Structure 1
């Protein structure tokens, strides 16, 4: 199995974990670290995926934190071979692709990582409260998160 430290070194990871903790003070450092690691796996899987993927609400929190560290995020995207864009929209249950989380977890495994199943909660599951509250739209890039509205 692949290790995320090949994509995100310890000092960079610590900085991103600190951002997650600053935005979510109720989380433990261990949980914030797991969220960041899963976000790195998501970016790696999304970069190589020909099919629609989506982060869980919890993993999206780690992705948001990664993006705020622009140099770190750029280096991560360089390592995975493409820049993975983030195009948020307000959450809307009508646009949700129910299979997207399962597909994403399968792509993470296919990319050589293990999945931290506890962090892949359905959008309505608030058992791990985080600040992230968005869905993602298709911007024509390597990630197609939700189906485009018809019409």
Structure 2
């Protein structure tokens, strides 16, 4: 069932042009059409009653940045925060849209959830993830890239992605530090 504009839920603005003057960061919002972005945005909002639509939009944009970075750097162990993971979950629920996005990015970024366990949290994973998002040409929303003890907003997503002992990566613990994008 396609999501339609709902009363009280703003339609996100069209993909904005790069600001004038100098090299501008990439616009992750432009990875999806307005209708596709709106559909996924409504999924985030539906899964998180009472969430401000602008926060849901920020979460989704960060999820797009994360997926793009994960596709560009498939062997580096990176992971989203719980907030960003909420946006990634919403993207994945739109299977055709997500498959098309991953295809355009050059590889499928698979999701391998773990039950949350703060004792496994490695702050270097967030630091590394943010650095690769920047390397991909984006400006991360720093408020959404904090550790599990400083969440900006509560979300429905109840999984985490952390390195397991032995050096395997947080995205695909069974395939040592890959995002599963090379083989299907």
Q: TM-score scaled to structure 1, two decimals?
A: 0.88
Contact preservation (8 Å) 1:43, 1:84: yes
Runs of 4+ in structure 1 off by over 4 angstroms are none
* Structure 1 gaps, min length 5: 145-151
Cα deviation for residue 35 of structure 1 reads 0.4
1:50-73, Cα deviation, whole Å (9 max, x unpaired): 311010110000000000000111
Cα deviation for residue 6 of structure 1 reads 3.3
Return the match for 1:62 from 74, 82, 87.
87
Secondary structure class of the residue paired with 2:107: coil
Residue in structure 2 matched with residue 13 of structure 1 by the alignment:
37
Contact preservation (8 Å) 2:41, 2:57: yes
Distance in 2 between residues matched to 1:123 and 1:65, nearest whole Å: 20
1:94-145, Cα deviation, whole Å (9 max, x unpaired): 322221011101100100111111111211224411111112342327339x
Corresponding position: 1:132 with 2:157: yes
Corresponding position: 1:82 with 2:107: yes
* Number of residue pairs aligned between Structure 1 and Structure 2: 144
Secondary structure class of the residue paired with 2:150: coil
Cα deviation for residue 77 of structure 1 reads 0.5
TM alignment of 1:48-127, pairs within 5 A: 48-49=72-73, 50-127=75-152
Q: TM-score scaled to structure 2, two decimals?
A: 0.73
Contact preservation (8 Å) 1:47, 1:142: no
